[in-house]
Chain A
Amino acid sequence: MLTFAGFYGLMALGLNLVWGMAGMINLGLVGFFAFGAYVSALATVNMGAPIPAGVAAASALTAGAGVVMALTTRNLRGDYLAIVTLGFSEVVRLVASNEIWLTKGTDGISGIPGPWRGRVTPETFNLIYLAIVAVFVVAAFWLLERVRHSPFGRVLRAIRDDEQIAAVAGKPVVAFKVQAFAVSAGILGTAGALYGHYISYVAPDSFAPLITIYAVLALTAGGTGDNRGAVVGALLLVFFMESTRFATGWLPGLRPVQVAAVREFLIGASLVVVLRWRPGGLIPERIPRA
């Protein structure tokens, strides 16, 4: 459970960099996530690469995909960027479903190795993996906090509010956007790779757009702009999804399908409640003091 919170945390952190700091909405999160998962799965299963190499390749290639994405969408903003990125994630899913020679289509890739899997009990494996994911979350958090409080982050926040001003201030806007997108995509790809090695199986169905929505939701509830908000939001999201799973068991007279619908409903309602009382999220962005 907490491991999943870690995946969502990484995704929310990655999103916070492009959306919270640089103001570019990216609804293709799950596309980058899937891309990373497949890269690492293929590298370790087909090419026999060690797991760390697979994860590193996933980070690097997904960051590269982010660069391509940022360059092709460099003139798009707001809704237009959102729709293109959303399209990207669907393209990734469709390619994974149809390029059977590479991805085994909808059968998915199974038997993805996990660290010490099979040599320790499943419980120990879960604990080890939780620790690994936690390390990645902490590292990503540290990296992004450095970025946020640096002059680089200041330029990103300026681009978010007014690109023209950033340009007049002497900043090459496109270069900044591309770098932000690349780092963000790299984090998402890393999260995807970690997910694959944890579950040991990736298939196109695992990467539905709903995952993107959950990550956006986690960041919105936690507070856009602040990296702590991203982590807190992800923890809350997973806590809430799991607790409603149990809570709905107590509701009498509902069929399982209805129970699932009630969960979605509760999650949506709780976001509305959070944003009604804390429009900036639980940890809203604050302006740094001198």
Chain B
Amino acid sequence: MPPLLSVRGLERSFYGVRALNGVDLTVERATITGLIGPNGAGKTTFFHCVSGVVPPEAGTVVFDGEDITGWRADRISRRGLVRTFQIARGVPRLSVLENLMLYGHAQPGERLLDAVLGAPGVRRRESELRERAVAVARRLNLTRVLDAAAAGLSGGQKKLLELGRALMTDPKLVLLDEPIAGVNPTLASEIAAHLESLRRDGLTFLVIEHHLDMIARLCAPVIVMADGRRLAEGTFAEVAASEAVQEAYMGRRKWAS
């Protein structure tokens, strides 16, 4: 089976800064692939370009056998590739339940006429989405805050909501941008357990993370980016042992000593 995501020569610059400098990488199905690299390596820009939030300038993105390069973000999401944001955003003035239901696809009530007339499909889909949202919330331990505004959640709950919203789209691939940054250790290992159980259900993740112990425990393979390129790939032990990787993070030995 071909890889779920296959990216070739992806480039993007911002005002002369070459954030992505020809990234080549693939993500295999039903893996939790780690994406690490020093600050400014281009990891988040890579997510932007793959998810359609920012269009790439060159290169191709093939997802699940279809070239999605340059598609708009909403179309990519409906195709089954959804991403989360590094700073957990959520829609602040929507309740948690609404935040989850917002991510549901194929709601005819999002067409103006059907919404006003209350077409029969609208209510049916709405209760399906509600059921699904409640189930996702239960899985992520968010049941108690379903009615709360997303703005009022704690940092950790916001991270869970990020994940939950992504799950609502029924995705094939989820791009997670630092899912446990700033989360307390107990909740972090809970999130890790969620990811692992979802992977066993057949979901694929590409995860940016700086907590190396989480990467070590969860991710295989691990891809290292530096200077807008893929630098190395392998198991965590392999990339951690790589001299090139150590150099990218720490600088060259001869300068350091």
- Interchain nearest-CB distance for B75 vs A (Å): 8
- The reply to whether B92 and A164 form a contact with Cβ atoms under 8 Å apart is no
Total chain A interface residues with beta-carbon distance under 8 A: 32
Mask of B113-146 contacts with A, CB within 8 angstroms, 1/0: 0011010001001100010000000000000001
The distance in angstroms between the C-alpha atoms of A171 and B52, with both chains bound, is: 13
- The reply to whether B118 and A157 form a contact with Cβ atoms under 8 Å apart is no
B110 is contacted by which of A152, A160, A167, A168 (Cβ under 8 Å)?
Answer: A152
- Interchain nearest-CB distance for A289 vs B (Å): 5
A168 is contacted by which of B77, B107, B118 (Cβ under 8 Å)?
Answer: B77
Q: Is B191 an interface residue (CB 8 A)?
A: no
- The reply to whether B109 and A150 form a contact with Cβ atoms under 8 Å apart is yes
Q: Is B58 an interface residue (CB 8 A)?
A: no
Q: Is B149 an interface residue (CB 8 A)?
A: yes
A162 is contacted by which of B74, B77, B89, B122 (Cβ under 8 Å)?
Answer: B89
- The reply to whether A285 and B116 form a contact with Cβ atoms under 8 Å apart is no
- Given known pairs A161-B94, A288-B95, the reply for A167 and B53 (CB within 8 Å) is yes
- Interface pick from B97-105, B181-189, B237-245: B97-105
The distance in angstroms between the C-alpha atoms of A210 and B102, with both chains bound, is: 38
Q: Is A173 an interface residue (CB 8 A)?
A: yes
The distance in angstroms between the C-alpha atoms of A164 and B52, with both chains bound, is: 10
The distance in angstroms between the C-alpha atoms of A10 and B92, with both chains bound, is: 28
Q: Is B33 an interface residue (CB 8 A)?
A: no
- The reply to whether B122 and A157 form a contact with Cβ atoms under 8 Å apart is no
Q: Is A47 an interface residue (CB 8 A)?
A: no
- Given known pairs A155-B102, A287-B95, the reply for A172 and B74 (CB within 8 Å) is yes
- The reply to whether A290 and B110 form a contact with Cβ atoms under 8 Å apart is no
- The reply to whether A158 and B102 form a contact with Cβ atoms under 8 Å apart is yes
- The reply to whether B102 and A147 form a contact with Cβ atoms under 8 Å apart is no
Q: Which residue of B lies closest to A289 (CB)?
A: B147
Q: Is B73 an interface residue (CB 8 A)?
A: yes
- Number of inter-chain CB pairs below 8 Å: 112
The distance in angstroms between the C-alpha atoms of A152 and B112, with both chains bound, is: 6
- Given known pairs A147-B115, A152-B115, A170-B103, the reply for A287 and B126 (CB within 8 Å) is no
Q: Is A248 an interface residue (CB 8 A)?
A: no
| Residues in A171-207 with C-beta less than 8 Å from chain B | 171-173, 176, 179, 183
Q: Is A95 an interface residue (CB 8 A)?
A: no
Mask of B75-89 contacts with A, CB within 8 angstroms, 1/0: 101100011010001
Q: Is B165 an interface residue (CB 8 A)?
A: yes
The distance in angstroms between the C-alpha atoms of A155 and B99, with both chains bound, is: 10
Q: Is A254 an interface residue (CB 8 A)?
A: no
Which of A153, A169, A172 has the largest count of B CB atoms less than 10 A from its CB? A169
- Given known pairs A170-B77, A170-B105, A173-B74, the reply for A179 and B93 (CB within 8 Å) is no
Q: Is B217 an interface residue (CB 8 A)?
A: no
Mask of A140-161 contacts with B, CB within 8 angstroms, 1/0: 0001001100111111011011
Which of A152, A167, A170, A172 has the largest count of B CB atoms less than 10 A from its CB? A170
Contacting residues, chain B, for A153 (C-beta < 8 A):
115
B116 is contacted by which of A150, A158, A171, A289 (Cβ under 8 Å)?
Answer: A150
Chain A interface residues toward B at CB < 8 A: 143, 146-147, 150-155, 157-158, 160-162, 164-173, 176, 179, 183, 285, 287-290
**6 A-B pairs with least C-beta separation:** A150-B115, A151-B109, A152-B115, A170-B77, A167-B73, A170-B78
